[in-house]
Structures are given as structure tokens and as C-alpha cells.
């Protein structure tokens, strides 16, 4: 049972969702769950496994949901439950139960490793992919030009898509796009990036979410103030919800004075790290140079 729960938790995390895993560490006296029992919880909420059921499980689930819904990268914890309303002791949570035993449960948070879709495989994408590989992140690439989405330029890519924007998006919907934590529009052609933006945003719901997921992929676009103003106006004219459009980050990257593709890659990777941690550092200084 424990292995099945762990397999499910890892597969769910690999699919881009945060998972919280609770494990019974130690027990004493009469308790519903034995050491090693596991429960995994993901957005929905959906859960697999059990730590013993009844009131204990509901309290554990509540603690897990708190971390599942937290911003940033919440930490795990260890909780001890006394299965009797009069249970006392250091850091013991008393439960309205007649079992009389004691259960210690560890709660661990599994955050998805960033998986970044690079829509446009040119110089900035190549530089970013190298930085991402060093961080242990995954990248995938889409480009209409074969030479910019091949194994030579993107040897570590999880997915390589050589296709038009329309052809790529024809096989995608909100649910499939949820495998990416971030989507970066890095195209060589403004018209292609505009098509990408409209197609991506049109696949999200009115709140900018993916059905069944707490978060949609973060979408970022490389470019200047003028480019983003044009893109935003076009999105609103097309009837896309303003809240969804405003969630797009343009330009991308932290304010570290980045100019070269390699420097921009570091700035963008840092901004993703900040977003994962629930932080919001300043905007880049190179926004009008592109």
C-alpha cells in the first residue's frame, strides 16, 4: 500500500501538481493506523491511501490541505496526536477519540520540479536551457524552424516540437498544458509570439486556471513595453478576460542589468525561482532594449 501511494504521489508531482504526503512514523497504545501507513493528497482535493481513518485522518488531511494551498514552497512538519480528548504532553494534538493511543505523523510537501516550455528555440532559449539543466529543471522546446528545436541546440529537452504554432496548439488543451510550470514566449517573430499568446490564454478558463489544478502555467513573454502594449490590446480586442491577460509577465527576468542571452537566462531563471518561493522581486532593466 505504501509503495502504491508513493508511486501515485511521484507521478502526480511529475505531472505538475503539488503533492503532500503524510506518513505514520511511530505509534503507541491502541491506534487505527500502524507505522508506515501513508496518505497522499493533491489539488482537487484528491487523495490516495490512509493513515488510519476516522478523526485522526480528518485532522491530518486538514494539516495537509493547509500546506497544499499555501503560497511559495511550504515546509513539512511532524505532528503527534493523542487519541483521547484528555491527551496531554509536549506538542500533542488531542483528538476526541476513545482509542487512547498516540500517533506521530510526518507531513512532507512535494513541489513539482519546474518544467519550462520554450516557445522559440533561439539564443535566449538555448542559454536558458543550459541554466535550467544545471538547476535540475526540465525544458521542452517548440519552434517552427527545425534547426532551432533539434537535439544539437536542445540536447536535454524533454520534448521537441518542430511545428507551426497552430499545429502545436491543436494537440493541446488546458489540461495537457498543465504539465508545464512555465511557458516562455521567446520567438524570433512578433506575429508568432502573438499567435502563441492568444492560443495559450484562450485555453485557460476565465480565472486563468486549468480545470482540476490550483495553478495554470506561468506565462512570460520577452519584449519591450511597446510590444507588450500591442499584445495586451490585441488580447483584449479578441475578448480574452483582462485578469487572464494581466497575469502574463512581460518582460521576463529579474532586475540585474541583464543584456546578453546568458545574462537574460540567469535573470529569467531567478525570476522563476522567486515565483516558486512566492516572492516578487523587481522588473528587469533591459525591457526596452529588446
Domain extent, residue 200, equals: 115-289
Q: Say yes or no: 269 and 157 in one domain.
A: yes
pLDDT in tens, 140-192: 999 999 999 999 999 999 999 999 999 999 999 988 898 899 999 998 888 99
Residues 265 and 133 in one domain: yes
Task: Report the domain count for the chain.
Answer: 2
Residue ranges, the chain, pLDDT below 70: 1, 84-100, 205-215, 280-290
Q: Model pTM greater than 0.85?
A: no
| Domain end residue (candidates: 110, 137, 160) | 110
CA neighbours closer than 13 Å in the CB half-sphere of residue 254: 15
One domain for residues 138 and 281: yes
Shared domain check, 163 and 67: no
Same domain, 83 and 139: no
Same domain? 77 vs 129:
no
Give the pLDDT confidence score for residue 288 in this predicted structure: 42
Residues 92 and 78: beta-carbon distance below 8 Å: no
Q: What CATH code is carried by the domain that includes residue 242? A: 3.40.50.720
The verdict on 39 and 88 lying in the same domain is yes
Domain check: are 130 and 264 in the same one? yes
The b/e string for 258-285 (b: 16+ C-beta within 10 A; e otherwise) is beebbbbbbbbbbbbbebbeeeeeeebb
Residues 168 and 59 in one domain: no
Same-domain status, 104 and 120: no
**Same domain membership, residue 188 and residue 45:** no
**124 and 206 belong to one structural domain:** yes
Is the distance from CB of 142 to CB of 277 less than 8 angstroms? no
pLDDT number for residue 1: 65
pLDDT one-digit tens code per residue, 214-230: 567 999 999 888 889 99
Amino acid at each position: 500500500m505504501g509503495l502504491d501511494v508513493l508511486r501515485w504521489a511521484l507521478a502526480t508531482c511529475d505531472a505538475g501538481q503539488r503533492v503532500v504526503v503524510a506518513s505514520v512514523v511511530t505509534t503507541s497504545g491502541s491506534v487505527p493506523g500502524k507505522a508506515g501507513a501513508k496518505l497522499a493528497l493533491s489539488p482537487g482535493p484528491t487523495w490516495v491511501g490512509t493513515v488510519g481513518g476516522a478523526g485522526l485522518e480528518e485532522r491530518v488531511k486538514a494539516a495537509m490541505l493547509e500546506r497544499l494551498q499555501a503560497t511559495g514552497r511550504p515546509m513539512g512538519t511532524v505532528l503527534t496526536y493523542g487519541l483521547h480528548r484528555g491527551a496531554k504532553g509536549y506538542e500533542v494534538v488531542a483528538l476526541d477519540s476513545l482509542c487512547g493511543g498516540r500517533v506521530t505523523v510526518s507531513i512532507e510537501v512535494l513541489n513539482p520540479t519546474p518544467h519550462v516550455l520554450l516557445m522559440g528555440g533561439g539564443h535566449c532559449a538555448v542559454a536558458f536551457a543550459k541554466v535550467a539543466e544545471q538547476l535540475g529543471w526540465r525544458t521542452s522546446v517548440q519552434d517552427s524552424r527545425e534547426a532551432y528545436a533539434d537535439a544539437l541546440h536542445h540536447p536535454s529537452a524533454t520534448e521537441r516540437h518542430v511545428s507551426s504554432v497552430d499545429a502545436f496548439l491543436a494537440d493541446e488543451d488546458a489540461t495537457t498544458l498543465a504539465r508545464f510550470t512555465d511557458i516562455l514566449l521567446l520567438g524570433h517573430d512578433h506575429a508568432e509570439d502573438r499567435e502563441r499568446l492568444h492560443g495559450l490564454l484562450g485555453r485557460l478558463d476565465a480565472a486563468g486556471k486549468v480545470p482540476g489544478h490550483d495553478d495554470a502555467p506561468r506565462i512570460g513573454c520577452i519584449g519591450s513595453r511597446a510590444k507588450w502594449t500591442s499584445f495586451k490590446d490585441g488580447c483584449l480586442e479578441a475578448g480574452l478576460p483582462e485578469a487572464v491577460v494581466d497575469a502574463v509577465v512581460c518582460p521576463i527576468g529579474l532586475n540585474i542589468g541583464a543584456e546578453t542571452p546568458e545574462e537574460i537566462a540567469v535573470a529569467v531563471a531567478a525570476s522563476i525561482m522567486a515565483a516558486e518561493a512566492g516572492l516578487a522581486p523587481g522588473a528587469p532593466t533591459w525591457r526596452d532594449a529588446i
